[in-house]
Amino acid sequence: MAVFEATARTGSIAGAARAFDMTPSRASKHLAALEAELGVLLLKRSTRQLTLTPEGEAYLQRCRRILVDVREADDEARSQTGTISGTLRVTAPVAFGALHLGPVVAAFLQKHPRVSLQFSLDDRYGDLHADAVDVALRIGRLANSSLVARRLGACRMALCAAPGYVAANGAPNVPSDLSGQPLLAFSEAVSGPDWTLRDAQGDRYRIEGSTRVSANNVQVLAAAAVAGAGFVFAPTFVLGPLLRSGELVRILPNYHADPLDISVVYSTRTYLPATVRAFVDHLAETLAEPFAWDDAGDA
């Protein structure tokens, strides 16, 4: 059942095999045995992809509820002794996770050698319960829900361009100067700010440029900006190092965007598993302001 759920979640037998540290052939045998026991085809297999049958879709939803109950029972048993062990499932935004969470995770695992971690990077706000996720890092406004949120700090935004681009095209003095200019826009923001800035008096100005590049990855947009493609509006956790190196310069420095919250969220329970509590505390300790990626000028 767990191998079936992992296959559906990762989209491949190989992905499920990696999740359980087994060979793909062994994972395939688990799935075949499950279908034989049930007498139902759960997955349609082709050379290119796996898709769930209608019966597989229905079975998956029940499996996930059962597996969550089993994991919570395991967590409850461990919490009686305060043991920091087991598998922790964590999700985080793509660019933030890729750039900043590797050392954080490594330090946690070194401190707790009996913990293993399954990490998923996704800019969407998934359903923690349905996806069997223990802890999620989220950037942006959080909807009211049953989830517990702990704020880690502020995600600051910066409007930037390459020095060569500014030299060739001129530095804007007010937001309206960007009208018709090429903008490099992130297409997958869940609750991020649009291209809106405030002046010193708090008045709001929306930048009305022409979207020249739209991408679902901020790092691609930053690289395009460095190469002179236009103006990028993105978090300083991506742009900060490029600002420090001089590859990008801030545009309209007398204006600022409203910051977003960086939060860690987890499901509400009558008890909090010791492993989840330890990881949340570790994030709060290691991802505390002032952030290394923020220059004094970005605050």
DSSP string, 52-80: E-HHHHHHHHHHHHHHHHHHHHHHHHHHT
- Kindly compute the dihedral angle of the four CA atoms of residues 46, 48, 54, 55, in this order, to the nearest 10 degrees: 60
Structure tokens at 59: 């079975």
**Residue for token pair 């965007």:** 257
The confidence score (pLDDT) of residue 297 equals 44
Pairing of β 249-250 and β 157-161: antiparallel
- Calculate mean pLDDT across residues 263-292: 87
Which residue would you say has higher pLDDT here, 187 or 81? Answer: 187
The confidence score (pLDDT) of residue 255 equals 95
DSSP string, 73-109: HHHHHHHTTT---EEEEEEE-HHHIIIIIHHHHHHHH
φ/ψ of residue 82, rounded to 5: 70, 20
CB 121 within 8 A of CB 94: yes
The pTM for the full model equals 0.73
For 52-95, the pLDDT digits (tens) are: 888 888 888 888 778 777 776 766 666 655 678 888 999 999 99
For 134-156, the pLDDT digits (tens) are: 999 999 888 767 788 999 999 99
